[in-house]
Amino acid sequence: MTETEPIIIGTWKMQLGVPESIELAKKIKKGISKKGPEVVVCPSFVSLTRVADVLKKGSISLGAQDCFWEEHGAYTGEVSAHYLKEVGCKYVILGHSERRKHLQETDEMINKKIKTALRVGLTPIVCIGETLEQRQDGDTNSVLIVQASAAFKGVELNVDQQIIIAYEPVWAISPSPHDMQPEQTIETNQVIKQHLLDIFPQSIVKNNIRLIYGGSVDSTDAASFIALENTSGVLVGGASLKSEEFLAIIKSVS
């Protein structure tokens, strides 16, 4: 896994309107220090351009929460990865468990989106993770291997491209009553890394792929997750909606 500064990614989901997104972006930009982890915020589609304006001449990167696998065409309601790049996005979240659950996204669809994102110059943040039932049945490792294999089928990375993999145990995402302890991810991270070596050349896994954790992360545990071997950052949901808490997460790993 690439050894760089940690990355903190905030996904605002469908929680904030445009005025709220602008205000939150301003507060985060004002409160962030020049030195520290790489910070990414992922507003809703309707807020992207306005948040991009706020983030200009700053150190915070912009990400989107999804994209379509075609760059343009008659696809009503979809958003092109090419257009996301045009408005200033550097990253795009793909395969989030909520989209898999509510919109029936398949691994094959996610695979096509990954290829398109890379083609237009976006860095995919690819979410994989097991449900509570799968974990209780002892299927965690096999689920992750199947998801990763399908997601990266036929994907080739150049030396100047990156992929971020977010291990996102579905059962630990808010408002779930279950919590994932940092030490519980050690084996999982190793399984993911080992399988990546079956998919990509060792040099690519080492230099171009980052593994992060996402699952109800907050300022009390973010640093503990990032301190683990093979974990390069966190994907933050609800805790990224409050500037004080998100800034506390950033500070905790600086």
Say which DSSP state 4 is in. Answer: -
Q: Which helix (H) or strand (E) holds 56?
A: none
CA distance 39 to 91: 11
Positions marked catalytic: 96, 168
Sheet strands (E) in 98-147: 123-128
How many CB atoms lie under 10 A from the CB of residue 154?
8
> What letter represents residue 202's amino acid?
Q
Beta bridge mates, 164: 125, 210
CA distance 3 to 99: 30
